[in-house]
Amino acid sequence: MYNETFLRRAIEISAQALETSGTEPFGAVIVKDGQIVGEGINRSKMNHDPTSHGETEAIRDACRHLETVDLRGCELYSSCGPCALCVAAMNIAGITALYYAADMAQAGDAIADLPEAARFPVDVERLTHECGHAVAERFMPSEQHLDAEATKILKDWAGHARSQV
């Protein structure tokens, strides 16, 4: 259930980018049972990691804090509507609900007059397309090779995992 305090905390985290070099103004918190269990700010430039978005950093922090990769029952509060990468991470982790402040259009409008070199290098429309289509329908050229070998390892690993349960 939405709680304004948590969204305000995500916005407060995003404001740290005004003073912290190498960060960008996207903050997020993960909440479980009414408590913040993870926080994150976009550190892509600082970490030289294009996946270091506020939401993914908050997910990583919550997983470390809770010592799990299963965040079912957790909510994510973000200063901006998440990109497709972050939505995928949220779904993989099992985040139950999302609450956000600015949307992607508002973020785009806010940075529209920045010089190209200062802009985020993400083409949001392309990212959304790529994530929403099967591999063969994506813009990025791709080829499949050695699938039998890779599938054998997956099956062997699954057999081992089943025997451990």
Residue 12 appears among annotated catalytic residues: no
Contact 26, 54 (CB under 8 A): yes
Residue 126 CA from chain centroid, whole number: 16
Instruction: Kindly give the residue spans of alpha helices, DSSP state H, lying in 67-116.
Output: 84-93, 104-111
List 4, 12, 19, 55, catalytic entry? 55
Cα–Cα dist 142/123, whole Å:
19
* CA dihedral sign, ordered 61, 29, 86, 54: negative
* CA dihedral sign, ordered 86, 90, 91, 92: positive
Contact 28, 55 (CB under 8 A): yes
Which residues are the active-site residues?
A: 55
